[in-house]
Structure 1
Amino acid sequence: MSTPKTPQKPMPGNADQTPGRRPVLPWPLPALIVWSACWALFLSLRALQLPVLWSLILATSLGLAAGLRAASTWRKLFISAGFPLSLAASNLGDGLSPWVWLIPLGLLLLLYPMSAWRDAPLFPTPHGILDGLDKVAPLKCTDRILDAGCGLGAGLAELYRVYPLAQLDGVEKSWPLRLLCAWRCPFAHVRHADIWKEDWSAYSMVYMFQRPESMGPAAEKARQELSKGSWLVSLEFEAPTLKPVVVLRNRADKPVWVYRMG
């Protein structure tokens, strides 16, 4: 725990070398590996005489699942779309009906709706990142916490570890992610909703891991809807118009900004 400080920005071109993170493969090697894996799966399924439509769906789904782990929206799209685009450009794609190519696009939009692209990509909350939050912001068992944009539930799991008696809610714009999150987090009430249209007034704490540009609107929404004494907690990114009570630094590269309304 420390006094508020402005987090240091990573050096340009060195995003994959951030201290404290596991080493990652240099770009575009992850994309090439995923595309190769998709092609290997597709050709293996065709060798087993699985219908071409199911081979396409399964191989595309593999690319989508791997693309979710990428560090930016454009890399997610680049990795996810690589296999179906390369298949369309190959001789193997000549025999497919034109409507079949709507399947990969539909899968991508179902998993990550366009209306949610302005919010954060799927970045999970690290384990242990909220250690000490309950000492700074103590809550009662009747208090409710909202994870605004809960993804696959890593943030909810971390909140549950820190506040095991509080009532946890999660909202997620993607239907598949919402279903997976509800399955992973039976201790929380997970709903399909837009975090910006959701009413925050019933919550004693709202937790977010969004984009830097989302924090201005988040601060304004918190001012308007959260009651006096409620908490806004942001992982990594500072709300520019709010003064934090404290900044938790359990990881040097991911500060936790803790704000109290009123």
Structure 2
Amino acid sequence: MTPKPWQRLNPATWLWPLPAIVAWVLCWTLFRTVWEQGLALPWSLALASALGVVLSLWGVSWWRRTLIAVGFPVSLALTLGLLGGSAVPAWAWLLPLGLLLLVYPVNAWRDAPLFPTPLNALTELPTLAPLPAGAHVLDAGCGLGHGLQALRLAYPQAQLHGIEWSWPLRALCALRCPWARVRQGDIWRADWSAYDMVYLFQRPESMARATAKAHAELRPGAWLVSLDFEATPHICTASLRTPGGKMVWLYQAPLSVPAGENP
């Protein structure tokens, strides 16, 4: 299949490690530019490291994003070490780590990494889970808003909501999706009872927690929708395959399980 023009321009689709190399080159370019313009060395380091953290969103997995984010400060440390010392104070090396933790808080690591939902992944969803106009739909863990954009394409008349723990990602999501109500918060503490549909793109390890919460809070008739990961042992109401080959699993409350299984 020939890549579309927008796919060729998306660094997340480039052959690894090209996104990392491009990100590191951009960080070094920024660092050299601002340092040569007279910016103090620690702040030049901080600015270039901040760019690395932003560009880490190009990575499609946690370890790739981490490599992109730490590549510049680590390479700078090695370079200064080879030159026989460093003019950077010890505290300055904490800045890249602090920026990384700001975007990816530790207590969010148990949830899914920043895996974007393909734009056309949910277009067939209304055929299996029709919703009335004005229905409230939640993207639990909305990241940069890819899931919200896919939900808007599927349910243009719905009222879309997003919850994201990382406040920088929440801010960027709100800018990208001004038509949705996006707030910073913990998806596991939020009340799901007000929503007609809750959409998730989590990890297999967190699906049991998600279905337990849906079983306890979703009102009868509401939907839990999971991209890629099935919520076993619950019996799915329906499923569909996206144009990209991913599976979408649908569960209508009250969620049911096979005889002899605990919900």
Is the TM value for this pair above 0.5?
yes
Q: Give the structure-2-normalised TM-score.
A: 0.85
Aligned to 1:187: 179
The aligned amino acid for 2:246 is K
Once the two structures are TM-superposed, the CA of residue 173 in structure 1 deviates from its matched residue by: 0.4
The aligned amino acid for 2:107 is S
Once the two structures are TM-superposed, the CA of residue 86 in structure 1 deviates from its matched residue by: 2.0
Aligned to 2:208: 216
Once the two structures are TM-superposed, the CA of residue 89 in structure 1 deviates from its matched residue by: 2.9
CA distance in 1, matches of 2:97, 2:124: 43
CA distance in 1, matches of 2:107, 2:62: 13
The aligned amino acid for 2:126 is D
Q: Within the alignment, does 1:239 sit opposite 2:231 as a pair?
A: yes
Aligned positions, number: 245
The aligned amino acid for 1:39 is W
Could you list the runs of 5+ residues in structure 1 that have no partner in the other structure? 1-18
Q: Within the alignment, does 1:197 sit opposite 2:182 as a pair?
A: no
Once the two structures are TM-superposed, the CA of residue 26 in structure 1 deviates from its matched residue by: 4.8
Once the two structures are TM-superposed, the CA of residue 82 in structure 1 deviates from its matched residue by: 1.5
Match of 1:134 among 123, 126, 146: 126
Match of 2:47 among 53, 58, 67: 58
> Deviation string for 1:113-136 (max 9, x for gaps)?
011111111111111111121121
RMSD: 2.3
> Deviation string for 1:170-224 (max 9, x for gaps)?
1000010111111211211111111111111111100011112111111111111
Once the two structures are TM-superposed, the CA of residue 76 in structure 1 deviates from its matched residue by: 1.2
Identity of matched residues, %: 54
Structure 1, 227-236 or 28-37: larger mean CA deviation = 28-37
Higher relative contact order (CA 8 A, sep 6+): 1
Q: Within the alignment, does 1:70 sit opposite 2:56 as a pair?
A: no
- Alpha carbons of 1:164 and 1:28: their partners in 2 closer, same or farther (altered >3 Å)? closer
Secondary structure of 2:24's counterpart equals helix
Q: Within the alignment, does 1:41 sit opposite 2:30 as a pair?
A: yes
Aligned to 1:157: 149
CA distance in 2, matches of 1:177, 1:30: 20
CA distance in 2, matches of 1:135, 1:153: 23
8 Å CA contact 1:171, 1:192 repeated in 2: yes
Aligned to 1:98: 90
Could you list the runs of 5+ residues in structure 2 that have no partner in the other structure? 255-263
CA distance in 1, matches of 2:18, 2:178: 37
CA distance in 2, matches of 1:147, 1:190: 9
